[in-house]
C-alpha cells in the first residue's frame, strides 16, 4: 500500500474562530481527511470498509501548532504511515501554507469491529 | 406530552466565527438540543428512541436571524410543538439573550425507521 | 458579476451524524462555501472584503431536505443570485448527488460594516 | 488562582459521528470549555480578556482516547493547571462517564496579543 499522500484544500469560513484562526480542534478533522485520502489513493474507500464492518478509531493523538492558518488560506497536508502492527497504524502529518509550517502531528489508530473491539487490519490494507 | 420547553446555555468559543458571532449554521444545532430536551422533559430519551429504531429527520427549516450572539453569551431557547400529524412534527423556536430576540425559526421533522422510510410516530409521543 | 456557480466536493467523515447522514446544520456551511466560491469566480475574495471591513451576514434561511447525503458522497452544489438590492443579496441553492436532489434552499444575506450596521454593497459587487 | 475545576455536560447529537461516538476532534472543544470554566471559577471571563487584547492559543496538545463517549452520555471533565510560566500554561484533563475513563489529555497554551505575538500572562491570572 502507498504510505504517503499530499492533499491541498482551503480553510473554510465556518472553521475559523474569533481570532480569525482555524480552530485547533479542526486540525484533527483535516488529519482524518489526510488518512482517508491516503487510503483512497491506495485503492480503498473507508466508507466501504465501514459498510463491511471495519472501523478505525483514534487511540492517541499529538499535535504541535507552529503558526496559525486563517480562513481562505490554501493549505497542504502531507500524511505518512510510519508504523503498522496487526491492529494499529501510526501516522505522521505536516500541515503547511506554502513553505510555512503550520502544524506537525502524530496519531495512532486501531482497527475495531462493529462491537468496538480490536480486530486485525484486513489483509489488503497491510503495508508491505 | 409537553409541548413547550425552555433551556439556557452559553455560546461556546468553538461555535463563534471570525466576526465573533455564533455561526449561523450553529443555530440549527441549538434547535436540535431544544427538541431533544423538550422530549426529555416529557419523559423520552431520543437516544433510546434511536436504539429502538425510531429516528426523526429534519425535512424543512426556516430561520430569521435578528441579532448576533457572541461567544460566552448566555442564551435562552424556547422550543414549542405547534402541529403534529401521524408522521411529522412542526416546531417553533425563539432564541433570546435576555430580552433581545436573536432568532426565530420553524422546522418540520419526520419520523423514519432504520431504512430511512417514513413510519408512524410511536404512540407515547403523540401530543394529546 | 457572475450570478451562478457550481462546485463539487465530498462529504467529510466529521460532517456525518449517528444516522450516517450529513448533519442538517452542515448544509448551511456548504451553502456558505457556494456563496464564497461564486464570489471568487467573479473575481472577489471574501477574505479580502472582510479585511476591508465589508461583511455579509445571513438574515434569513430556508431549506428543504429531500434526500440524505452520506459520508464520502460526491455532491454538487449550484449557487445562484436571484435578487439584489443596495444592501441585500438573495441566493438559491441546489445540492445534488448525481441526478438525485438532496436539498433546495434560499438565503438572504445583508452587507454590514465592522460595527454590524447595514452598509451599501460595494460597487464592484453589484450585479448588472 | 484556582487550579482545578470539574464540569458536567451531555454529548450533543451533532457531536457524534457515524459510529455513534463523540468525534475525536470534539474532545478538544470540551477541553477548551474546561479551561474557560476553570478561568471563570477563578473570577475571570475569557471573553473579557479577549476584549482587552489578551488571547490564549494552543501550542501543543496530546490525547489518549480510552473509551468512546456516545450521544446523550453525561460526561465529567476535570481540568487542572499543572505548570505555569510567564507566557505559558500547561493543563491536564480527564474526561469520564461515571467511573469509566474516556480520555486523558494535556495541552500547553501560550498568551499572545492581538498581533499573535507572545506576551506575558496578566498578573491577575498568575497562579500563586
Could you tell me which chains touch chain A, where touching means 3 or more CB pairs under 8 A? B, C, D
User: What pLDDT, on the 0 to 100 scale, is given for residue C120?
Assistant: 96
User: What pLDDT, on the 0 to 100 scale, is given for residue C1?
Assistant: 64
CB distance A25–D32 less than 8 Å? yes
Does C17 contact D at CB distance below 8 Å?
A: yes
Nearest CB among A19, A55, A61 relative to D24 is that of A61
- Mean of all residue pLDDT scores within chain C: 95
Does B16 contact D at CB distance below 8 Å?
A: no
Q: Is the pTM of this model over 0.80?
A: yes
* Among A78-82, D19-23, D105-109, the least confident range: D19-23
pLDDT, tens digit (0-9, with 9 covering 90-100), for C53-67:
999 999 999 999 999
In angstroms, the Cα distances linking D97 to A21, C21, D67 are 31, 26, 9
User: What pLDDT, on the 0 to 100 scale, is given for residue B126?
Assistant: 80
Residue D45 DSSP one-character state:
-
Reported confidence tier of residue A2, pLDDT bands at 50, 70, 90: confident
Burial A37-58 (b: 16+ CB within 10 A, else e): bbbbeeebebbebbeeebbbbb
d(CA B54, CA A86): 37
ipTM for this prediction: 0.94
Residues of D in contact with C14 (CB under 8 A): 17, 23, 25
Does B14 contact D at CB distance below 8 Å?
A: yes
Reported confidence tier of residue D126, pLDDT bands at 50, 70, 90: confident
Could you tell me which chains touch chain B, where touching means 3 or more CB pairs under 8 A? A, C, D
User: What pLDDT, on the 0 to 100 scale, is given for residue C19?
Assistant: 87
Closest to A30 measured CA to CA, from A72, A83, A70, A76: A76
Kindly report the length of chain C: 128
Instruction: Give A 87-116 residues with CB within 8 A of chain D.
Output: 116
User: What pLDDT, on the 0 to 100 scale, is given for residue D21?
Assistant: 93
Between B115 and C79, the higher pLDDT residue: C79
Task: For residue A121, give the C-alpha cell.
Answer: 487490519
Mean pLDDT in residue range A87-104: 98
Nearest CB among A13, A18, A25 relative to B16 is that of A18
Q: Which residue of D has its CA nearest to C20?
A: D18
Reported confidence tier of residue D58, pLDDT bands at 50, 70, 90: very high
Distance from CA of A29 to the nearest CA of C (A): 6
- Mean of all residue pLDDT scores within chain D: 95
d(CA B97, CA D30): 23
d(CA C75, CA B43): 39
pLDDT, tens digit (0-9, with 9 covering 90-100), for B92-107:
999 999 999 999 999 9
Nearest CB among B14, B29, B46 relative to D29 is that of B14
Positions in chain B short of pLDDT 70:
1, 127-128
d(CA A45, CA B8): 42
Quote the percentage of chain C above a pLDDT of 70: 98
Reported confidence tier of residue D19, pLDDT bands at 50, 70, 90: confident
User: What pLDDT, on the 0 to 100 scale, is given for residue D124?
Assistant: 86
| Burial label, D91 (beta-carbon count in 10 A; 0-12, 13-18, 19+) | buried
Amino acid at each position: 500500500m502507498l504510505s504517503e499522500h499530499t492533499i491541498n484544500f482551503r480553510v473554510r469560513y465556518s472553521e475559523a474562530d474569533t481570532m480569525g484562526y482555524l480552530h485547533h480542534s479542526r486540525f484533527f478533522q483535516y488529519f482524518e481527511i489526510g488518512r482517508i485520502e491516503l487510503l483512497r489513493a491506495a485503492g480503498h474507500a473507508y466508507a466501504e470498509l465501514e459498510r463491511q464492518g471495519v472501523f478505525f478509531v483514534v487511540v492517541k493523538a499529538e499535535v504541535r501548532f507552529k503558526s496559525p492558518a486563517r480562513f481562505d488560506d490554501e493549505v497542504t497536508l502531507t500524511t505518512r504511515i510510519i508504523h503498522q502492527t496487526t491492529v494499529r497504524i501510526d501516522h505522521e502529518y505536516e500541515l503547511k501554507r506554502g513553505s510555512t509550517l503550520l502544524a506537525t502531528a502524530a496519531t495512532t489508530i486501531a482497527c475495531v469491529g462493529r462491537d468496538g473491539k480490536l480486530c486485525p487490519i484486513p489483509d489488503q490494507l497491510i503495508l508491505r
